[in-house]
Structure 1
Amino acid sequence: MDPNSPIESEPSGSENSFIKPEPLDSPIVAPSISGVASTQLSPNIPTTHLSASGASLSPDPSTSTPQAERGTPTSPNVHIKTDPEIEQKESSESPDIESNSTDYLERLITVNVPETLETGVTIGIDLLDQLKAKLSTFQNADVDVWLETINTLKESAKPTRTVVGVVGNTGAGKSSVINAILDEERLLPTNCIRACTASPTEISYNHSDDPSQLYRAEIEFITAEEWIKELQILFNDLIDGNGAVSRDCSNADSEAGVAYAKLKAVYPHKTKEMIAEGSPQEFANEPAVRGVLGSVKTLKESSAKSLYSRLQHYVDSKEKITGHEHKKRNVPMEYWPLIKVVRIYTKAKALSTGAVLVDLPGVQDSNAARAAVAEKYMKSCTGLWIVAPITRAVDDKTAKSLLGDSFRRQLKYDGTYSAVSFICSKTDDISITEAVDSLNLEGEFAESWDRAKELQASVSSSKSLLEKLTEEKDALGERVDEIEAQLDIWEDLQSQLSSGETVYAPFEKSRKRKRPSKSLQSRKSRSPYGSDVDSVHGIDDNDDDDEAYEDNSSDKENSQSIEKGRPLTEDDIDEKLAYLRAQKREIRDERRGLDAQIADARKQMREAKSERQEILDEIKVRCIQGRNDYARGAIKQDFAMGIKELDQEHAAEEDDAAFDPDQDLRDYDEVARSLPVFCVSSRAYQKLTGKLQKDDFQGHGFMSLEDTEIPQLQMHAKKLTEEGRASNCRRFLNDLTQLINSMKLWASNDGTQSTLTDVEKRREEMHLRKLLNDLETGFDTSIKESVKLLKDTLQEHVYSVFTSSIPAAIAAAPNTASGWSAPKQLGGMVWATYKATVRRNGVYSGASGPHDFNAELFDPISRNLATGWERAFQRRLPAVLDEFAAKAKKQLKAFHEAAQDRARQRHTNVSGIVTLSSQILAHMRTIEQLPITLRAVITDLQREASRQFTPAICNAMQYAYQVCTEERGPGSFNRMKAAMANHVETARYTMFNEATDTVKEQLEAMCRTVQKRLSDEMEDMFNTIFRDYMKVLVGTTVDRHAKLPPQELAMRANVNDFLQHCDSMFAPVLGETGVDERMETTCTTQESGANSAVESQNENSSDMASIKLEAPTETRVSVDRPDDKEDVIPGLEHDSTLAEADELMQQQIRAQSESVECE
């Protein structure tokens, strides 16, 4: 098509007909829906400009086409006479070819396995890199746009993050559970001071392969402004009415004690006098502190132990770490009060798929900056894990209370009840006796208990036998010692006799003596027959002294009355030595028999002990599993009952007369079943994996890692990421499909593709513009209807509750305020807590628990609103978005079928139609993804809006908080109570309206954001459709008389060839190899079709010279007029010239343009 043709010119003042949303007064910003949504995929076609009224540039049927000519979809042929061969060639092209060169890619998009999709994304990124290299061989404006589009698409392939918040009370074992999930003995930092000083800790996967950076951490510190605000609160808590440090600073649990501990941690050399005389600004400006505030400290280590040690330096007390409490002069500055958030990066397999665990210490932190960070994480959490010790989880009804009513209600506002998982920790902490009794397992284990008792008796019997045998063996050892001593004496006598000396028998007499208290090892060193007798399973063979015994050894010489003084002969000595040696052999044989008996007794005792331990382990396993099952069921039911109570509370307050407590508002059994509950033992898991070597912990009762349920929890963490990963991958692959299709249309365009005459092109363009206008109008109408439904839903379920609940809140406000200062026994606060709360703008968590004046004032509205809010955002609004997607897909399908039928009837660019069919499927997948993406946008914005109620109440209460904070001296508490009561009485008539109006503005801004996102997305899609269909069905946008440079033609041919075959890159992902035969056939068909089109165009051009001329300068056009006259140009006479037809069509187009401008 000639770009200078009037058909290309747009009417002045025209604008896009998609809804123009109201200005975004709110600062709400939503993330981009698609990585390439805002990038035009074609540099050739200008953005279409459509009128605000929805009119198109196609001729108005009422003015340009007679009514009788608009009856059927078929049209007459306005043609130039051509060679019959060409007509035969055109008719030989089958319009039924549906081959598709992105077959593998489109099949891959339907896969549900995230790992497979991610492999496809990796291949897609490689494909884009190759495509960039081929495009870079030639440079012009078109190539620059394509390169920018490719880079944008690559950016959208970044992995998604799935944030999982981990919450629980102090002592719940959160840190141990997280360390076990990470497969680390100790990585998560802990703090020994107070639970409220802990920082939010984010743990995510470390993608670095540098051995020196396998473990990384980032410590972000609060800013100077945030520290000054914190110091102001600390000074107010610490300084009394006389301007001195309060005496309560020595009480660690008091507000003054907490403030003093923080100040001394950061400023260890400041005395009480220096603190009293200082100011927050002066303290914040000290060089050591100023150098830390607002900074981020990065730590890199090769081991978890090293990183943990360095983290402790920042997050824990130096007093604990150094142990140099007495060296006050050398006490270093501590950093824990200044930390905002800690981020840890580790190569834990549980986090490898994108899960991010966040240890949340609580949103009512004493530090406002940390509380804000915790609140931010809560808003962005995809999952929420609640940790409680199993010994308290059931008794404390933790699943039902969910850490407080306000926390539970906020889950309902956020729509995260379905994202909650419950973790019962410390399952190894169990009393078998209590468990058997509580679980009624006595009968089940009766035989096991009896057998265990028998085995215990056997162990005791074996122990007694061992002691007896050991004593006998020891006695034999004594006799051996004596015989060896006598052998030494007689051998000496034998030696003396041999040397010629006269020897006499030694004198021996019976004597009574105690058994020597020598160790068996010492005897063993003297006697080759000695053997060590080990203690067996706690039996100490050497603990008891033996009774005195008689030495009954007497030799034959004594029995034969050998007289002392008679010299010994050689025979006497030989006889004596023989006797002693025989006696020694006899004892040795006897000891061997005892050794065998001892070994057998030990074996029996070991076997009995082992069998008994196995029985006890089985009983323990059964008790642990039984308690786990009981706790799991009880927690599921408590969780469901907690939701039921909220539902009934709202239903009763909404319509007390119609409320039926026996009528369930939802399937609470399904709610219970859907709650994931894990009963874990982090210590047993770490012990079984070879950690905790220094801990004397026996993992009895845990036969395998699966018994600890940590592996199941790790798998659960991975599974939470699957939906987001798959969705992100499909979005990328779908956008890649669109890009490939659009680039194929562009790359195959060499300026010679069009086979239509100028008249035919204008006629086809007018028809296509009419179809496009209908599509645009349909999109326009669907967006308007959807936005209206969004607003109607909010009015019905949210705004109406505002109106009905505000009077109740106004009426309850005075009593709520007076309750804060009531006597403690009636639920009121003591002066110190009341003072600390007003100093912190009504929000404080101390020893007496959390307090939130603002939330309590708003509670009458919040209770009534929770269910309606949940219904609107979790059910109705998603349904509206799904309905929009269904309508848009239906409209898109109708448009494509109409355009495709027209093209087949005209035998227009069959191969191009195949590409358009693939492209339209990609567009439909984009539309299917829109509700999912917009639900995420709405979720983020509504979570933010739901948190604006109490800040608005807080702003309205500022005057009262300031007045109460400034009160000093005698009677100050009474004056504080009076000031609070007076202010609440005055402000209650306006502050609730102000709070709800604030949120209403946020929600209206949300509607405008959704409206704009829908309009932008559908407009981008429409522009792509306009370009692609115009290119394929009407003809090239390149000047048909212009020639592309040879270098560009070569580059386009190279790109086109690559795009025609790149789909085979995805075959291995689907388990297939090589190039699919169908794809090869498709490429051949498309190539032959393109060649035929070029040949047809060339032949048609040459045939133009042979057309019969009625006048020297005019070419006549033969107009066939069949029964269907839909597209006959009004006013065009039979046998009119080409110039006349062209001029007449231009006049009609100009008239149509003027009509559009007037409208």
Structure 2
Amino acid sequence: MSWRGAAYETKSRGQARPANAGPSRTRRPDEPISSIEDNSQQSEERDSVRSSTPSVSVNTPDGSETRFPNTSLQNPSSALPEQDDAENVSHRFQGLRLGTHSSPSSSQGLDLGSMRAALPSVESASPRQTPLLLAGGSPASFGGRRRRSSSVDIRPYNVRDEVPPQDRFHNSEFQRAFAHAKSLMGRLTEVLGSSTLPLEPDSVIRSLRDKAEELSHFRCPPTRTVGLVGDSGAGKSSLLNSLLDFHGLARTSNSGAACTCVVTEYRHHDSADFVVDVVVFTEDELQDQFRNMVHAYRYNYFHSADMESQEERLHWADQAKLASDTFKAMFGDRFTADLLCSVNSETRIVRTLLRWAVDSSPIRDIDKHAVKNSLEDCSELLMKLTSDHGAAHGPAHWPYIKNISVHLDSYIVSKGLVLVDLPGLRDLNSARRNITERYLLDCDEIFIICPIGRAVTDEGVMNVVERARQARLSNISIICTKSDQIRADEAQRDWRGAQAAEIQRRKDLLATAEGELAKIREPLDELNDLDDLFEEEEIQKARLYERLERKGAEIENIKFELQRYMITERNALVESELQALYRDKIPGGVLYVFCASNTLYWDKRNLRSRVRALPFLELSGIVAIRRHCMALVSESQLRAASKYLRDDIPNLLSNIKLWVRTGLESADAGRKQAVQKAISLFGDRLRTALVGNSSPLDDLSQALIDTFDDRVYQRRQIARWTEGAVQAGQVWSSVTTYAAFCRQYGTYTTAAVGYHCWNEEAMKTMNGDLAHPWDNLQEEVQRLLHNTRVAISETQDRVVSRYLDIALQDFPDSIHPLRNALKSRRRILVGDVEELGAAFEAEVSKLRTKALSGLRTSYFGESMELSYWKANCEHGPGSWARKKGIINGTLGNEQLFRELMRKFKCNFGELATQLDSDVLASVEEYLEDIENTLDMIRSENVVQESERDPEFKARVAHEADELEKAMEYGVKPVLRELGLD
């Protein structure tokens, strides 16, 4: 007999009374309903329900407290998501109050039959079986009820709530001061606009109002570029989607064999729409690509049978296929291979293809500056621009596109970053591969993307690290994707030892919990088999669902902890191996390694509660990568924000105070005229001191050029360097894989000889001779730039002390704000010059890479390009000797190094001249601002303007005083505390 039959004797009108029922007892409001722990306790449970049916309440819209036991997990950070079923159950219970027929609430509430109706229908899924727990499912999907608690954070996840890096820029006090200052500028803008005076085009107060408005909208400029590079399928696009927090924005796979990635930049703009800017290849750039592809196809077609090795035949077959696929994508059915195989010359074929490209390019019909209102529309446009459509849809766009910029309102790029999706360095399309190599030199951080399963052996990672080493780039990080792809049985087999034992322990916990779950299902299944339940049975069923929910949550938690353990352990293992492989190859020896799962991120990103989502998102690794990216811009953002608080706002405030005090000074007309003349003399003297023949800026570019000439150019030893290159070429001549290295333009890895970069080895003597002179050059450049900044400061101080104090002796109220304005403006100028100097040093560092590295896009690599190409075109008997003759002949020509040094000197001179021009432009802007500031005192028009609206002038004066106090007591202490004053 079932437990139900033994416990009950009669059933009438939906009510039941236990056979051995004792005196009725009313349950206290705070008395919890006992739970059913096992079958041995069922008799006790039946005894407890002999009394009147206890009152059971749930959360109501007005926030009344539930009386169901709290089944939330002990550790909220490990709490797992609750899905739509749980939400539906909760909503169905909202407002319900259940009680006995005799209870006061019965007339206002529902009976237990209604409670059952509020539960999810078990029979709808499986008529006679308790719902099974699905991996990754919600505990609430059993039909249990979820109770809301005011102590649980049910807000959805928001990227903007992520914990920022712990640095000075993200310091909470600094951020509050920064935000407060911007709000003060907004208030000041309103006050400065509260008169008709700013409506006059040439009014001074209008220019001050415009400046205040500009400062109220101040944003730190984008200062860091992060490039993501990796082989096809590594997960770059998916990672970008996760970092940007826009699901499905970037395409996640190539749809055509010839469809390589297009350089795609992601930049910020403060708008909800998406703006896509497209830059296309020029005709000359297309012609170069066509020439290489036509030659590759024809060479493979006419000479494949004469090639010496299977490897060589495969190389040219791949190049031919790339050419054919690209031309089909560009021209559709108009292109046939017969054109490439014809008797026409390669030049004539290239001319024909170029004419087709110009006449029928689909890119002509594309808006180069497209604005899209939705994520879906933007994603569709990107897909159109970067994928093949097939002949039915017309020619593809991607072969014509050089790069794409996407402007969007994403949190990570709003912090000053530009994220760039780059083609792989092993791309068969040499034009796009070279674009990537050049772009890497401009990146402030390089993320090498690879799947975690092959991270340690990934050739793409090694390829980028080696190029970074040649370019002396120290800003390298590795991101291993697909970190969630790990199975317990495989991990247990691979790891063994303590890790395997820990996995087994967690698996045993899971098996035990699932066994306990099965025991709870048994009485539930029997109750679900019954068509009509006693009220006491309804209570029993509710309790069982309670237990089922708690046990389900426990199981899901065990699963999550097992997953977290395996992912964390595997991540640490991979990071350790990658550090051992590559850390010493990176200048500075600092290598960051991250592991990420885009699948885990998006599976849990939109859970209803951020508390439930956060453990998964942290485990996905995306949050940590975003935090690292934000830290990259912290110092540059700190400098910009500090300049804003320390110099830009005080400079505006000083000018406003000068405007307010204009006309308040008392002096006779003759004295005023003398003051105006003295102030004009001060302005003239300052201009002469800064941009005259004897100014500290007069010979800056020439001093830099002379330093380069003395430290580097005069140290050239062309004959010695040529000899070293010839000797390197002779060493290569003995390797059996000579042809393979030629096909890879000198940079390759083989099992027989390992990794070699012929260009780098040919330049070894040259680099050895110039290493110390280059260090001396860098030191001298830094000294010259430092002296320039000091001279600018000292020049202004000298002119101010000599000419300004005497000029304003009859205007004492104007001396202080004018001095403050000059001081802050001087600091702005010095800061600008410092930034220009830093940018110059960065460009000089890139120039060193172009001149002294063996990269394919370096001066040396570009000079060797034609020789490698000619060597690759040699085939048939004796081709090996001819290949060596071509390469060695180029290396033995002294013109190779002579031309290299000429380019080096010429480009350094261009950089120095550009720096001189930029510094002078900053000085001119500074002098123009100083002239405008001086006009506050000497211009009669300004005097008349300031006196036309006394009430307005009083408001401005009051606001300026309040702003000064706010800056003095609210902002400056923070700057001092952080060492930024």
Question: Is 1:717 the counterpart of 2:788 in the alignment?
Answer: no
Deviation at 1:202, TM superposition (A): 1.3
Does structure 1 retain, via aligned residues, the 8 Å contact 2:597–2:620?
yes
**1:803 and 2:736 aligned:** no
**Is the 2:478–2:594 Cα contact (8 Å) retained in structure 1?**
yes
Which residue in the other structure is 2:14 paired with?
none
Q: Distance in 2 between matches of 1:458 and 1:1049?
A: 81
Query: Paired residue for 1:580?
Result: none
CA distance in 1, matches of 2:773, 2:188: 48
Counterpart position of 2:976: none
**Residue 686 of structure 1: aligned partner:** 602
Cα distance, 1:922 vs structure 2: 0.5
Aligned to 1:829, what secondary structure does the other structure show?
helix
How far the C-alpha of 1:1003 sits from its partner, in A, is 1.9
Task: Please point out which of 326, 336, 342 is paired with 1:271.
Answer: 336
1:977 CA displacement: 3.8
CA apart distance, 1:947:
2.5
Match among 468, 491, 496 for residue 407 of structure 1: 468
Give the partner amino acid of 1:260. Answer: S
Return the letter of the residue paired with 2:508: K
List gaps (5 residues or longer) in structure 1.
Answer: 1-107, 320-328, 474-528, 534-584, 647-667, 693-698, 1074-1159
How big is the shift at 1:684? 0.9
Local SS of the residue matching 1:388? strand
C-alpha distance in 2 between matches for 1:360 and 1:847: 29
Return the match for 1:531 from 516, 529, 550: 529
Take 2:683 and 2:401, find their aligned partners in 1: how far apart are those partners? Answer: 61
Equivalent residue for 2:498?
Answer: 442
Q: In structure 2, do the counterparts of structure 1 residues 631 and 461 end up closer, same or farther at CA, with 3 Å as the change threshold?
A: closer
Distance 1:258 1:759 in 2: 78
Distance 2:420 2:676 in 1: 62
Match of 1:940 in 2: 843
Please identify, of 180-189 and 297-306, the stretch whose mean Cα deviation from structure 2 is larger. Answer: 297-306
CA radius of gyration, larger in: 1
The 1:883/1:603 distance shift into structure 2, 3 A limit, reads same
CA distance, structure 2, for counterparts of residue 1020 and residue 288 of structure 1: 44
**Cα distance between partner residues in 1 of 2:387 and 2:749:** 21
Matched, 1:1007 2:920: no
Q: CA deviation at 1:410?
A: 1.4
Deviation readout 1:295-327 (Å, 9 max, x if unpaired)? 6555554443444344333423436xxxxxxxx
Q: Deviations over 1:353-401 (max 9, x none)?
A: 34221011145654465446435543433333233334444566998x5
- Structure 2 residue 785 is matched with structure 1 residue 881: yes
Residue in structure 2 matching 1:628, options 566, 571, 579:
571
Q: Distance in 2 between matches of 1:196 and 1:1065?
A: 61
What residue number does 2:815 align with? 913
| Counterpart in the other structure of 2:616 | 704
Distance 1:621 1:398, change over 3 A: farther
* TM norm structure 1: 0.55
CA distance in structure 1 between the partners assigned to 2:817 and 2:541 by the alignment = 89
Once residues 910 and 497 of structure 2 are traced to their aligned partners in structure 1, the CA distance between those partners, rounded to angstroms, is 60
Post-superposition offset of 1:188: 0.8
Tell me if the contact between 1:423 and 1:677 (Cα under 8 Å) persists in the aligned partners.
yes
| Alignment CA distance shift 1:460-1:374 (3 Å) | same
| Residue from 903, 909, 930 that aligns with 2:833 | 930
Note the alpha carbon deviations across 1:104-153, whole angstroms, 9 max, x for none.
xxxx9x9994685477468658867986986666567x869969996998
Contact 2:479 2:593 in 1 (8 A): yes
Of 467, 475, 481, 1:425 maps to 481
Amino acid at match of 1:290: S
1:261 lines up with 2:353 in the alignment: no
Contact (CA 8 Å) 2:257, 2:325: kept in 1 or not? Answer: no
How much has 1:236 moved relative to structure 2? 0.6
The residue that corresponds to 1:360 in the other structure is 422
Q: Deviations over 1:18-71 (max 9, x none)?
A: xxxxxxxxxxxxxxxxxxxxxxxxxxxxxxxxxxxxxxxxxxxxxxxxxxxxxx
Cα distance between partner residues in 2 of 1:901 and 1:144:
26
Deviation at 1:237, TM superposition (A): 0.8
Distance 2:288 2:751 in 1: 22
User: Which piece of structure 1 moves more, 298-307 or 150-159?
Assistant: 150-159
Q: 1:979 aligns with which of 886, 890, 915?
A: 886
Q: Distance in 2 between matches of 1:308 and 1:137?
A: 44
Equivalent residue in structure 2 for 1:829, among 716, 726, 739: 739
In the aligned structure 1, how far is the partner of 2:841 from the partner of 2:657?
36
In 2, distance between residues paired with 1:397 and 1:330? 37
Alpha-carbon offset, residue 936 of structure 1: 2.0
Residue 285 (structure 1) aligned with residue 332 (structure 2): no
Name whichever of 1055-1064 and 718-727 sits farther off.
1055-1064
**Cross-structure match for 2:239:** 177
Q: 1:727 to 1:305 in 2, by over 3 A?
A: same
| TM superposition shift of 1:451 | 7.2
Cα deviation, residue 917, structure 1: 2.3
Q: Per-residue deviation at 1:181?
A: 1.3
Structure 2: which amino acid aligns with 1:233? N
Residue of structure 1 in register with 2:561 after alignment: 618
Whichever residue aligns with residue 984 of structure 1, its letter is L
- Residue ranges of structure 2 left out of the alignment (5+ in a row): 1-168, 307-311, 971-981
How far apart, CA to CA, are the structure 1 residues paired with 2:542 and 2:212?
Answer: 77
Q: What do residues 334-355 of structure 1 show as CA deviations (whole Å, max 9, x unaligned)?
A: 3333332233333322223342
Give the AA of the match of 2:361: G
CA RMSD of aligned residues (A): 5.9
Contact kept in structure 2, 1:409 and 1:866, CA below 8 Å: no
Range 975-984 or range 199-208, more displaced: 975-984
**Structure 1 match to 2:375:** 304
Identity of aligned residues (%): 19
User: Can you list the C-alpha shifts for 1:868-908, whole angstroms capped at 9, x where unaligned?
Assistant: 757865x76446534543454455456656668768xx953
Aligned-residue offset at 1:235: 1.1
The change in CA–CA distance for 1:246 and 1:235 in structure 2 (over 3 A counts) is: farther
Match of 2:284 in 1: 225
Cα deviation code 1:929-965 (max 9, x no counterpart): 4313321243235425642566543665577467657
SS at match of 2:221: coil
Q: One-letter code of the match for 1:712? A: A
Give distance in 1, aligned partners of 2:868 and 2:314.
Answer: 27
Distance 1:599 1:738 in 2: 71
Q: Which has the higher contact order (CA 8 A, sep 6+)?
A: 1
Q: Counterpart of 2:127?
A: none
Q: CA deviation at 1:774?
A: 11
Distance 2:821 2:467 in 1: 49
State the AA in 2 paired with 1:710: I
Cα distance 1:379–1:899, how it changes in 2: closer, same or farther (>3 A)? same
Cα shift at 1:157: 5.8
CA contact (8 A) 2:385 2:396 kept: yes
In structure 2, the residue matched to 1:453 is 508
1:208 to 258, 261, 271: 271
Equivalent positions of 1:597-676 (< 5 A) are 614-615=557-558, 617-632=560-575, 635=578, 640-643=583-586, 672=590, 676=592
Q: Report if the CA contact (8 A) 1:771-1:895 is conserved.
A: yes
The C-alpha deviation readout for 1:1034-1074, integer Å capped at 9, x for no partner, is xx756xxxx8699757569799667645536857986989x
Residues 263 and 420 of structure 2 are in contact (CA less than 8 Å); yes or no, is this contact kept in structure 1? Answer: yes
User: What secondary structure sits across from 1:429 in the alignment?
Assistant: coil
State the shift of 1:779 in Å. Answer: 11
Distance 1:364 1:998, change over 3 A: farther
1:363, 1:371 within 8 Å by CA — same for their partners in 2?
yes
Q: 2:520, 2:547 within 8 Å by CA — same for their partners in 1?
A: no
The alignment partner of 2:446 has SS state of strand
Q: Which moved more, 1:276-285 or 1:848-857?
A: 848-857
Q: Which residue of 2 is the match for residue 953 of structure 1?
A: 860
Match of 1:813 among 725, 736, 754: 725
Q: CA deviation at 1:407?
A: 2.4
- The answer to whether the Cα contact below 8 Å between 1:364 and 1:843 also exists between their aligned partners in 2 is no
Pairing 1:191–2:249 present: no
- Measured in 1, the distance between the counterparts of 2:653 and 2:521 equals 85
Larger displacement relative to structure 2 (358-367 or 993-1002): 358-367
CA contact (8 A) 2:322 2:428 kept: no
> 1:197 is paired with a residue of what secondary structure?
coil
Q: Aligned residue pairs: how many?
A: 775
